A = this chain, B = another copy of it.
Amino acid sequence: MNMFSQRRNVEQVELGAELAPRFDADGLIPAIVVDGVTNAILMLGYMNAQALEQTIVTRQAHFWSRSRKALWRKGEHSGFAQTVERMLIDDDQDAVILHVRVDGPGSCHVGFRSCFYREVDLDQQSRDTPIRLNRSEPAPAFDAGTVYAGLPNPTQV
């Protein structure tokens, strides 16, 4: 596998034309997933080197499931795959953006279109008041109980 270049110096990483990603101590790089049509941010996933490679080669979004500790093609359970239309990388090459076409009603394991379906109420600005969340997506886009039947919930308390 020679898709990724070695990281040699700051100038190469920041201004070069080589893909030289930096994976964190757990071997992961965060991937921000954006709906290519609406520009809405759908989710933040994590990729190991294999997931990043598979995503580029197949143009289907792959991630590393931190809860299941397994490579995971988005949509393999739900059918709601993400086809990658564009991929961007940041200055120090430790984060990527995927612009995707979602083949289904949503990308969130709770059933919403986007994982970011709640907004923080910024009008409560006291350090001693519990901050509230408001629903920014009024209702789920699909029935997660049916779509993900039999699978463990990835949310960790």
A interface residue numbers (CB < 8 A to B):
1-5, 7-10, 13-19, 22, 30, 32, 34, 39, 41, 43-44, 53, 56-57, 59, 84, 86-92, 95-97, 108-110, 112, 115-120, 122, 125-134, 136, 153-157
Contact = CB atoms under 8 A, between A and B. Distances in A.
A30 B44 contact: yes
A82 to B, nearest CB: 14
Contacts of A1: 127-128
A115 B132 contact: no
In the A-B complex, the 10 residue pairs with the smallest Cβ-Cβ separation, listed nearest first, are A19-B131, A87-B120, A92-B155, A90-B115, A88-B116, A44-B95, A91-B115, A91-B110, A17-B133, A3-B131
Given A41-B97, A119-B86, A9 B157 contact: yes
A130 B18 contact: yes
Q: What secondary structure prevails in chain A residues at the interface with B?
A: loop
A112 B90 CA distance: 10
Which one of A1, A90, A122 has the highest number of Cβ atoms from chain B below 10 Å of its Cβ?
A90
B41 A127 contact: no
B41 A84 contact: no
A57 B3 contact: no
Contact of A2 (B14, B95, B130): B130
Contact of A92 (B7, B133, B154): B154
B10 A127 contact: no
B120 A56 contact: yes
Contacts of A156: 22, 92
